[in-house]
Amino acid sequence: MSKLVECVPNFSEGNNKKVIDEIGKAISQTKGCLLLDVDAGPSTNRTVYTFVGSPEDVVVGALNAAKIAFQLIDMAKHKGEHPRMGVLDVCPFIPVRNVTMEECICSANLFGKCLADELHVPGLLYLLNYDMGLWIEAQGKQMAVYLYGEAALNESRRSLPAIRAGEYETLPEKLKKAEWTPDFGPATFVPRWGATVTGARKFLIAYNINLLCTKELAHRIALNIREQGRSKNQPGRLKQVQGMGWYLDEENIAQVSTNLLDFETTPLHVVYEEVCKDAKDLNLPVVGSQLVGLIPKKAMLDAAEFYIKKENIFILEEEHKIRLVINRLGLDSLSPFSPKERIIEDMVEDDREKGCLVSLSLHTFVQKVGARSAAPGGGSVSAAISSLGAALGCMVGLMTYGKRQFEDLDPVMRQLIPPFHQAMNQLIAIVDRDSLAFSSYMDAMKLPKQTPEEKERRTAAMQLGLKNAVDVPFSLAEKINSLWPFLKEIAQHGNIACRSDIQVAAKALEAGVFGAYFNVITNLKDITDEDFTQKMHRNISYFLEEAQKNTTVILDHLDKRAT
């Protein structure tokens, strides 16, 4: 899959539509950049743009936007609720797909240097959560960036609020201090621009909870929950959360405005529930919440799982889980919430994904298998058969669940259905992974082999390709092996009218392991790593034995139930 970086520049203009549109146009017209979202806030007088592209393209897109903003925005005239220190206040680069954080750090460094060189404005670099030294080359010049612990260039620049303290108004004096010398550009105050912060970070979720109260009461709650708290001696409850209270004039409500710096440390629903808890103590009504910009699908699904467990409800489909979260958090309280426009994975489609095997019609897939080509072959077919076996297990569970005659089995089916539903989707993905793994080995075989160095590189690439070609079918067999206990339960408790479906499911899963076994064994013979081959041979043999044994048990049990 292609590399994808998210860039989220925040510009200090939220009211002038012409300016907002011109900046957006500069981004969208940059080759390789896809503008996903433009979120303008009149009260904050700030617009958050979200766009994606390759590590190189997003730098160009951000620079093009900055050049337009430099012409159209005068920071000396700016007023707004949100803390800010420049026209382009902050410009983070975030890894989304197939990109390391180190590559995003390179993008931030390149952007910071080019911005300072081209516009002659000061820029401060904030880099979070790294513990290794990085040498970065930008525009032919060498510069060293040393990172340790969670520090950036120095302790005072660990976080965005620390850099932005005092905001635009204190910049003239701040830039005179040695400890605030810009990382790029001169230590000179440019009234029209101010200063810019750029860096690399994890996916930040900008999330606001709506309250019918005053700005001061909202801020009181924000002080309780944000990690910074009220002071060093009074820290808040939630790690990796920034927060403040403000009043949203255009909606006539107050908000606890938060930034979730790491949604896996403090999830979305935890922030909402904690604000609700404090609001209840203060007798304040919570009236929904608001996401600013985009959100990763995982953050939404994590919230869904929380409410599913809390309320003891049963939901399988991803779409339904998303709807549940929208409802429980009141994400549509201020404006419609369309998942296809707000969840980043749903907005970005890799061109290569359009040609993946699982997107083909069944007829076309079968024709491709039957063509004069080594891929797709037995590995992809094994994965396809297995996914159908898991799907049948899911189907039988659903044909049992929720029916009055099997009402006493509902708790059992709630436990049995999800593993099949999850495996069904995971096994589908292996259809393409197997084909790609084989292709990587074939590509390695085509590498040059004229010199000793070329031969060594080719051999190493071929060995890696072979290991990948083994890992994929092995993971298939491993996943199927986890399903046998659940399928035995389905065979014991499932709707007996679906007996033949369970029988087909068992044989389909067994066939998947059978195919995986021979794909692994075939490729192991050419791998020189003996420890690897012995371990894989032992484990894949065990999976095959388990498949044969469990299939026999399941079929025998179904025969007994039928008599």
Buried b vs exposed e over 297-316: b needs ≥16 C-beta within 10 Å? eebbebbbebbbeeeeeebb
- Give pLDDT tens digits for 47-80: 999 999 999 999 999 999 999 999 999 988 988 8
Cα–Cα distances in Å, from 536 out to 360, 435, 469, 518, 539? 32, 20, 12, 12, 5
- Give pLDDT tens digits for 250-294: 899 999 999 999 999 999 999 999 999 999 999 999 999 999 888
Which residues in the chain are classed under CATH 3.30.990.10? 4-200
Q: Residue 151: exposed, middle, or buried by beta-carbon count in 10 A (0-12, 13-18, 19+)?
A: middle
- Give pLDDT tens digits for 185-226: 888 888 888 899 988 888 889 999 999 999 999 999 999 999
d(CA 459, CA 443): 12
Contact 207, 222 (CB under 8 A): no
Which residues in the chain are classed under CATH 1.20.120.680? 362-562
Residue 259, token pair as written in the block = 């930034």
d(CA 398, CA 396): 5
Looking up tokens 């292709």, which residue turns up? 439
Contact 126, 159 (CB under 8 A): yes
Residues annotated as catalytic are 82, 434
State the pTM of this model: 0.72
Average pLDDT over residues 132-140: 30
Q: How confident is the model at residue 137 (pLDDT cuts 50, 70, 90)?
A: very low
d(CA 520, CA 103): 34
d(CA 253, CA 163): 29
Nearest to 509 by CA among 391, 366, 406, 426: 391
* Mean pLDDT value across the chain: 88
Name the CATH code of domain 4-200 (choices 3.40.50.970, 3.30.70.20, 3.40.50.300, 3.30.990.10): 3.30.990.10
Question: 112-126, 258-272, 485-499: which range is least confident on average?
Answer: 112-126
Virtual CA dihedral for 267, 268, 269, 275, nearest 10 degrees? 110
* Domain 205-349 CATH superfamily: Formiminotransferase, C-terminal subdomain (3.30.70.670)
Name the CATH code of domain 362-562 (choices 1.10.10.10, 1.20.120.680, 3.40.50.10680, 1.10.3720.10): 1.20.120.680
Strands 196-200 and 123-127, sheet pairing: parallel
Nearest to 160 by CA among 201, 115, 188, 132: 201
